[in-house]
Amino acid sequence: MGGLDGLKKALKGQNPQMTFITETPQTQDEWIDFSNREKITLLSNRAFDEKVVQTDAWTRQFYGKEIPFNPSYRGDSVWTGTLLAYTKPDISFAAATQDDVNAQSILEASKKRDGTYLTHVDRDSRTAYLMKIPEKHENLRNAALSVDHGFDAQRPNFELKELGRTVIRRYFENPESYRELDRDIPQPEDPHIRYIRYTLKEIRVTDESQIRATAFPKEDGWYFCDEKTGIPTGTPQDHNDPKTRYLKRKEHRIGLVARTGHYLRPEEMRVVYCDALTWDKKKALAEARPSKN
């Protein structure tokens, strides 16, 4: 299928059960905006397992070759339609921003005062994300909140709202680690503090009742998955069990879950990337028509 125009043309009038993979890679934000505008449903993380992994859609003969498992391999990767938000291990959503200088700067710039928000900074794209956390989930620890892309009465389950560009005060433990210094902005003498321009984006969930909370492991590894979301959960398991999936996570993050596959690396399809860089351009799996929730 050639490009996004080809995708739109192919989806028109097609069976809603048909699934398409695009040839045009886009960033997470570009896919969210495009799919919402064109009323195309991005395949969820769980649906990826059902339609790709469990059907061997991307696997072929090994031709006698044995390739070591590499959880960092990201070839043929795609964005799924599952939005996931989680905090640092043992930190509740309510406490995640209280002692975080960077998070407080984002909230101050966005003028958000009506509840608890989780924040995430993508340094490479210079984008600062924030998402409101439902009150009933504020005190959860070691949990991930997820919502699948789709539509309800033609309204997307979640969308991105750009709040403009602003200067955010950021703290760096290692002064040598920052690369995005805006030299036209007066900087303080403290080398750990830098003022940097970012684009603020709020991830808005249309119906908070659709947000699911899942116990989320503190570290990477093989786990069984939540039946409803396909997100790894629980305690470490033997990777030889085909029902297990390999979790890749960061300290904290808000963003789409990514998956991958390769005909010579069938095990890579079992990796659930909850750490993907939001600016990375990936393909996507899309359904022909909006889902009905």
Domains and CATH numbers, the chain: 3-84+211-287 (3.10.100), 92-140+158-205 (no CATH)
Say if residues 57 and 247 touch (Cβ distance below 8 Å): no
Contact 34, 209 (CB under 8 A): no
CA 286/CA 40 separation, integer angstroms: 6
Summarised one tens digit per residue, pLDDT across range 49-89 is: 887 777 655 544 333 444 455 555 555 688 999 999 999 99
Residue 240 CA, distance from chain mean position? 27
Q: Measured in Å, how far apart are the chain's first and last C-alpha atoms?
A: 28
State how far the Cα of 5 lies from the Cα of 50, in Å rounded to an integer. 27
Q: What is the pLDDT of residue 173?
A: 79
Exposure of 122 in the CB half-sphere (CA atoms within 13 A):
21
- What single-letter amino acid sits at 18? M
Which single residue is written with the structure tokens 């080809």? 6
SS3 41: strand
pLDDT in tens, 81-116: 999 999 999 999 999 988 777 788 888 888 887 889
Q: Which helix (H) or strand (E) holds 232?
A: strand 232-233
Residue 291, pLDDT score: 43
Secondary structure of residue 134 in the 3-state scheme: coil
Q: Is residue 93 within 8 Å of residue 116, measured between CB atoms?
A: yes
Q: Which residues of the chain have pLDDT under 50?
A: 1-3, 13-17, 59-67, 290-293
- Helix-helix angle 3-11:28-38, to 10 degrees: 40
224: Cβ contacts below 8 Å, ≥ 6 apart: 232, 233, 234, 237, 241, 243, 244, 245
Neighbour-count burial of 72, counting CB atoms closer than 10 A to its CB (0-12 exposed, 13-18 middle, 19+ buried) = exposed
Query: Which amino acid is it at 209?
Result: S
- Which helix (DSSP H) or strand (DSSP E) does residue 107 occupy? helix 101-110
Q: Position 57: which residue type?
A: A
